[in-house]
Amino acid sequence: MKTFKIGGVHPEAQKLSNEVSVETFPLPKQATVFVTQSLGAPAVPVVAKGDKVKVGQLLAKAEAFICANVHSPFSGTVNKIEPVADFTGYKKSAIVIDVEGDEWDESIDTTEDIVSEIKLNREEIIERMKACGIVGLGGACFPTHVKYMLPPGKSADFILVNAAECEPYITTDYRMMLEQTEACLIGVEALLIASGAKQALIGIENNKPEAIKKLKEAVKTHPKIEIVPLKTKYPQGAEKQLIQALTGRTVPNGKLPIDVGCIVNNIATTHAVYEAVQKNKPLIETYTTITGKKLEKRKNYKIRLGTPLKDVLDTVGIPENTGKIISGGPMMGKAIANTNTFFVKGMSSILFLDASESKRVPESGCIRCGKCIQACPMGLEPYLFRMLAVQHRLEDLEAHGIMNCIECGCCQSGCPAHIPLLDTVKTGKSQTGTMIKSRQAKKS
C-alpha cells in the first residue's frame, strides 16, 4: 500500500458523520461576507451600501496576484461594509447583506443536470476558475487558478487529487465522492485540460472502501483518471506527502509541486471547478461537517458563505459541557474564540470537543525523547523550533528550516510532555515569514 516515507501519526478516525447525507442549510436573514476568503491579499469591494445584488454577482474583485474573487452567495441589498470579527476575534473588512429571496444571476446554470462535455479550452478554463473565485478547499484556500499559471519552462505530468481526507472527524469529502462522483471526475478532466497533464491520480485512504469502489466504477469512462488507494496515515493529504505517496517524487525544500511536475488539488476543489467550468457557478458555498462525540444531530451541510455560525450552532444545539469549538479538524483546526462570526471558503468542519477532551494537560519539561522528530513528516525538529520561538530567535528558526513546516500537528499529538508545540511553532513560523518578507522588501 502506497504512503509517504517519513513521519506521520495514526489518530483515531472518528468519522462519526460518515452516513449522513449532505443537507442544504436554510438561508439566513442577514449574512456577512468577508472580502478576504483566500490566502494572499484581500479582494477589493466593487459594491456599495444600498446596492441590490443577485446570487453569484461579484462582490469583491481580486487585484493582487495571489487573491481570489468573492461573489455574493445571496440575493438582497448591501447593508454596509465594515470590519467584522472573524473566528479569532480580530476584525476584517466584510460586506453585510440583507437577504431577500433567492434570485440567481442569469448566467449561472442552476439545474441539477450533469454536463459532461467540456467546451472550454485551456486558457478559458483557467480564466473561468479565476473569475469564479475558486480556491483550494483542502484548507489553505490558495487561489486555484494561480497553480495552473505554470512558470515558463515547467510542465505538469500529473494532476494529483487529494481525496485522502486524513483529518479525523471530517466527512464532507467522503460524502462528496459518494454523492457527486461524476461531477468531481468531470472537474478533474477540466483540470487535466487546464494543466496539459496526461494523467490524473486520485489518492484515497483505504479506510473509505465504499468511496474507492464507487470511484473505481465511475472512472471506467474516464481513461485518464486512476484511483489509488493509500495507507491510512496522517497527514496523507498534505501536498508534499501526497506527491510522494502517489508518484514517489520528493519535492525539495523551498520548491513547489510543479518543480517535480505535479499539481495537487483537493476533491472538493475539483467539484467547485466542475461547477465553475460547466455551470458558470462561482464558489459561494462550503461543504461543512458538523460533528462531535457528544453531538446528537451530526450533519454534513452545504452552507452558503456568509451564513452566521450562530445559526448553525442554534440548529444543531451546542452539546452540554463543550470545552472547545474547532473550525477544521482536530489536528490542524483552530479553536473558535468568537462564535459570532460567519462561514468562509474552506471552513470544512465545525467540531465540538467535550471539556474532558479539550482540556490541556499541564505542560511538563521537554525530555528530548525525540518523538516529535520521529512524527514530523517533513523531517524537522519541532522541539528545537519551540525553544527558539519562545526566545524569539527568528534567524535561527529560519536557519533550521521552520518555513518548511506544514503545520500538520503530528509533533504535538504525540508529545509525552504535553507541550503545545504546534501553537508555538506556528507563531514562530509566521513571525519568521514576516521577517523574511520585510528583508526582501528592503532589498528590492
Partner 1 sequence: MSGNVIILAVIVLGIIGLTAAVLLFFISKAFKVEENPMIDEVAALLPGANCGGCGFAGCRGLAEAIVKSGNIGELRCPAGGNSTMENIAKLMGLEAVAAAPVIAVVRCNGTCENAPAKVNYDSMPSCFFANSLYAGASACPYGCLGCGDCVEACRFDAIHIDPVTKLPVVDENLCVGCGACAKTCPRHIIELRDKGTSGRVYVACMNKEKGAAAKKNCSAACIGCGKCAKNCPAEAITVENNLAYIDFRKCTLCQTCVSGCPTGAIHFSGATSEPEMEQKADE
Residues that bind partner 1 (CB under 8 A): 85, 88-91, 334-335, 337-338, 359-360, 390, 392, 420, 423-424, 426-427, 430-431
Closest CB to partner 1 among 369 and 390? 390
Dig out the grid coordinates for 165 from the structure. Answer: 481526507
Nearer to partner 1, 92 or 216 (CB): 92
Nearest distance from residue 340's CB to partner 1, in Å?
A: 9
Residue with smaller CB distance to partner 1, 218 or 335? 335
DSSP 417: T
Distance CA 275, CA 56 (A): 12
**Between 227 and 351, whose beta carbon lies closer to partner 1?**
351
Taking the least distance from each CB to partner 1, the nearer of 334 and 439 is: 334
Q: Which residue has the cell 440567481?
A: 104
- Read off the amino acid at residue 361: V
Q: C-alpha grid cell for residue 239?
A: 501536498
- What is the nearest approach in angstroms of partner 1 to the Cβ of residue 420? 5
User: Strand 76-85 to strand 52-53: parallel, antiparallel, or no bridges (unpaired)?
Assistant: antiparallel
Ranges assigned E (strand) in 72-154: 76-85, 91-99
Q: Residue ranges of the alpha helices (H) in 52-180? A: 122-131, 144-148, 172-179
Q: Identify which of residues 91 and 368 has a Cβ nearer to partner 1 in the complex.
A: 91
Q: Provide the minimum distance between the beta carbon of 328 and partner 1 in the complex, in angstroms, as a whole number.
A: 14
If you compute the radius of gyration of the chain from its CA atoms, what whole number of angstroms results? Answer: 21
Complex with partner 1: residue 85 or 131, whichever CB lies closer: 85
- E-strand spans in 399-439? none
| CA 373 – CA 240 distance, rounded (Å) | 17
Task: Give the nearest distance from C-beta 339 to partner 1 in angstroms.
Answer: 9
Query: d(Cα 143, Cα 68) in Å, to the nearest integer?
Result: 6
**Least distance from C-beta 416 to partner 1, angstroms?**
18
Segment (H or E) for 439: helix 421-443
Residue whose C-alpha cell is 466504477: 217
DSSP E strands, 38-85 = 44-45, 52-53, 58-61, 70-71, 76-85
Q: In angstroms, rounded to a whole number, what is the distance separating the alpha carbons of residues 105 and 435?
A: 44
- Please state the closest distance from residue 79 (CB atom) to partner 1, in A: 16
- Residue among 95 and 192 whose Cβ is closer to partner 1: 95
Residues 118 and 41 sit within 8 Å (Cβ to Cβ): no
Q: Residue 425 Cβ, how far from partner 1 at the closest point, in Å?
A: 10
Work out how close the CB of 424 gets to partner 1 at its nearest, in angstroms, rounded to a whole number.
6
Nearer to partner 1, 261 or 319 (CB): 319
Which residue, 258 or 419, has its beta carbon nearer to partner 1? 419
Torsion sign over Cα 338, 341, 347, 353 = positive
Return d(Cα 189, Cα 27) in angstroms, integer.
Answer: 32
Q: Are 306 and 214 in contact (CB under 8 A)?
A: no
Complex with partner 1: residue 91 or 297, whichever CB lies closer = 91
Shortest separation between residue 435's beta carbon and partner 1, angstroms: 14
Residue 309 CB partners (closer than 8 Å, separation 6+): 87, 336, 339, 340, 341, 342, 343, 350
- Is the separation of the CB atoms in 292 and 354 below 8 Å? yes
Instruction: Name the minimum Å distance from CB 53 to partner 1.
Output: 25
For the CB of residue 427, give the shortest distance to partner 1 in the complex, in Å: 4
Q: How far apart are CA 113 and CA 342, in angstroms?
A: 30
